[in-house]
């Protein structure tokens, strides 16, 4: 059986290792930074805003197969996922699970 390893080696060298170096460098350099400093609060706010913008764009202008799901279902999944996040001890995992469940159920029910 011929099982070439070149694609996996390329994935490791091009995809994983370059980002792993930056993660470790961030850990080493970030040890002494105060978690409540102004710069860290600003970075956290910018990162949160970017994630919110991406989620809004995917919800309102969906790519691929998600475009077949009605906008009402997508908005309901987003809203109920956020509500679950707030009600279940601010658990991101719970919010994602509820949102995905609503999205999948709505897609199954309302997509031709």
CB-based contact 76:102 (threshold 8 Å): yes
Per-residue pLDDT of the chain (112 residues; tens, 9 = 90+): 566 778 888 888 888 888 888 888 988 888 888 889 999 899 999 999 999 999 999 999 999 989 999 999 999 999 999 999 999 999 999 999 999 999 999 999 988 7
Number of domain units in the chain: 1
Q: Which domain holds residue 54?
A: 6-110
Asked whether residue 51 is assigned to any structural domain, the reply reads: yes
CB-based contact 43:80 (threshold 8 Å): no
Whole-prediction pTM: 0.69
Asked whether residue 1 is assigned to any structural domain, the reply reads: no
Asked whether residue 24 is assigned to any structural domain, the reply reads: yes
Q: Please provide the size of the chain in residues.
A: 112
């Amino acid at each position: 059986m011929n099982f070439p390893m070149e694609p996996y080696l390329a994935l490791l060298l091009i995809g994983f290792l370059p980002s792993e170096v930056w993660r470790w460098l961030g850990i080493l350099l970030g040890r002494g930074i105060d978690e409540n400093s102004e710069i860290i609060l600003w970075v956290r706010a910018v990162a949160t805003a970017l994630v919110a913008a991406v989620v809004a764009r995917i919800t309102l202008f969906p790519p691929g197969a998600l475009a077949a799901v009605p906008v009402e279902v997508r908005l309901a999944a987003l809203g109920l996922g956020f509500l679950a996040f707030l009600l279940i001890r601010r658990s991101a995992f719970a919010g994602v699970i509820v949102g995905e469940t609503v999205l999948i159920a709505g897609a199954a029910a309302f997509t031709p």
